[in-house]
Amino acid sequence: VRFPEDLEDDNTTFNPEYSHQVFGDDEVAFGYKGLKILLYYIAGNLSTLFRIEYTSKVSEKFDCVEADDVESKIREIIPPGYCTNTDDFVSLLEKEVNFKPFGMLLHTYSIHNEEAGEDITYQIYKADMTCPGFREYHERLQTFLMWFIETASFIDVDDERWNYFLVFEKYNKDGATLFATVGYMTVYNYYVYPDKTRPRVSQMLILPPFQGEGHGAQLLETVHRYYMSSPTVLDITAEDPSENYVKLRDFVLVKLCQDLHCFSPVKLMQGFSQEMVTEAQQKLKINKQHTRRVYEILRLRATNMGDAEQSRSYRLDIKRRLIGPYKKKQRELAKMRRCLRPEEMTNQLNQIDLNMQREQLEETFQQLVSDYRRVLERLAQA
């Protein structure tokens, strides 16, 4: 909500992707007809208005059953101090002009908005719990995780190893410049013996109204650039990354690496090398596993897949990496053969297993190439 009229504007409304962490695996609130759970957030400081509406509710006296206590379930995730009536919320909205982003400005960028017909400016800040008012703001911000990240959990904000990176949109209201929350990322700084740290991305969320505009890539690249300047950082990882995050990371890391000397087309065609691992880690804080993916994507760009020899060389190079888990499985089968009677491990069964492995290997390879092509297409448009 930026303006009072947004309260009645369905275009500013967005719905949760998940509610199982609040309402159980079935995502059901029992005992109501026409139930609406309404959560309004002021765009900048995220002050909250919470209301429940329904047309009817089951009566315990009549049906000997009790409706779910929806309000208490929501109160478990939203911090106290929220509004329950519109007038109080609107009065808070009038004070929004005083809200300013927390922490240190790291990056400013613009994105052209077709609907508005103009460039809109965004800023990325790094904050921590020493920033006045940030702890309370973060309590409100993290409530979005429960609705948009499948396995979300709240973090221990008293642990000083957490860093917070925030994205804001700058907009005008009555001649004043205001800020709207776009998204954020939390990063935990793990200790690596003897004198290094390994930042691990824990949670990352771009709010639904801003998704698909490139903010995730801007945020991740800014975070990488922030840590790149630190001599004590070994490399950057992510905790249990989602499929979408992996695609985003592929794009950002390839964008960062493509101009490194070791990723020149000539070097790429010579195969994956320790030089790539060393340069990517020292200059960009990228670990070996992610560097290998960057290499595979950039080598695909450098490869003429219409040339039979180049195509075959690329395919074999990727499959040599992919076959690792299958070889491990074959070693396990070999151990089983020594332990089991011949009739329990027939040749036919082994042959079926090998054929399945070949099919799975080819399927995995084709999927990877498809994913890599999408990264290269996005890179070409960037």
Backbone angles phi, psi at 180, to 5 degrees: -115, 140
Instruction: Give the pLDDT confidence score for residue 352 in this predicted structure.
Output: 47
Among candidate residues 350, 359, 347, the one with its CA nearest the CA of residue 329: 350
Stretch among 111-115, 166-170, 253-257, 259-263 having the lowest mean pLDDT: 111-115
Computed over every residue of the chain, the mean pLDDT equals 92
With b for 16 or more beta-carbon neighbours within 10 A and e for fewer, the 158-181 pattern comes to eeeebbbbbbbbebeeeeeebbbb
**Between helices 347-381 and 324-339, what is the axis angle to 10°?**
170
The answer to whether residues 12 and 42 touch, using CB atoms and an 8 Å cutoff, is no
Spatial separation of the C-alpha atoms in residues 265 and 9, rounded to whole Å: 52
Stretch among 83-92, 248-257, 358-367 having the lowest mean pLDDT: 358-367
Q: What is the pLDDT of residues 314-373, one digit of tens each?
A: 999 999 999 876 666 666 666 666 676 666 555 545 554 667 778 888 999 999 999 999
Long-range contacts of 272-277 (CB under 8 A, 24+ apart): 272/317
Instruction: Give the pLDDT confidence score for residue 117 in this predicted structure.
Output: 86
CATH class, domain 4-96, is: alpha beta
Residue 47 confidence class, pLDDT cut points 50, 70, 90:
very high
Active site (annotated) includes residue 96: no
Residue 262: pLDDT over 80: yes
User: Which residue is catalytic, options 239, 359, 362, 377?
Assistant: 239
Instruction: Give the pLDDT confidence score for residue 358 in this predicted structure.
Output: 82
Amino acid letter, residue 324: G
Residue 303: pLDDT over 60: yes
Model pTM score: 0.90
The answer to whether residues 161 and 173 touch, using CB atoms and an 8 Å cutoff, is no
Using CA atoms of 302, 305, 310, 316 in order, give the dihedral in degrees to the nearest 10.
100
Residue 64 confidence class, pLDDT cut points 50, 70, 90:
confident
Please give the C-alpha separations between residue 67 and each of 16, 77, 166, 227, 337, in angstroms, as whole numbers.
22, 20, 39, 50, 59
User: In the block, which residue shows the tokens 């395919």?
Assistant: 315
Among candidate residues 173, 207, 204, 183, the one with its CA nearest the CA of residue 13: 207
Using CA atoms of 302, 308, 311, 315 in order, give the dihedral in degrees to the nearest 10.
-160
Instruction: Give the pLDDT confidence score for residue 62 in this predicted structure.
Output: 62
CATH number for the region 100-301 comes to 3.40.630.30
Instruction: Give the pLDDT confidence score for residue 325 in this predicted structure.
Output: 65
User: In the block, which residue shows the tokens 């390879």?
Assistant: 365
Domain boundaries, the chain: 4-96, 100-301, 321-381
Tokens of 218: 């801007």
Instruction: Give the pLDDT confidence score for residue 357 in this predicted structure.
Output: 77
Among candidate residues 75, 77, 78, 31, the one with its CA nearest the CA of residue 57: 31
Long-range contacts of 214-218 (CB under 8 A, 24+ apart): 214/111, 215/111, 215/122, 215/167, 215/182, 215/183, 216/183, 216/248, 217/248, 217/251, 217/252, 217/255, 218/107, 218/109, 218/122, 218/124, 218/167
Query: 10 Å Cβ neighbour count for 340?
Result: 10
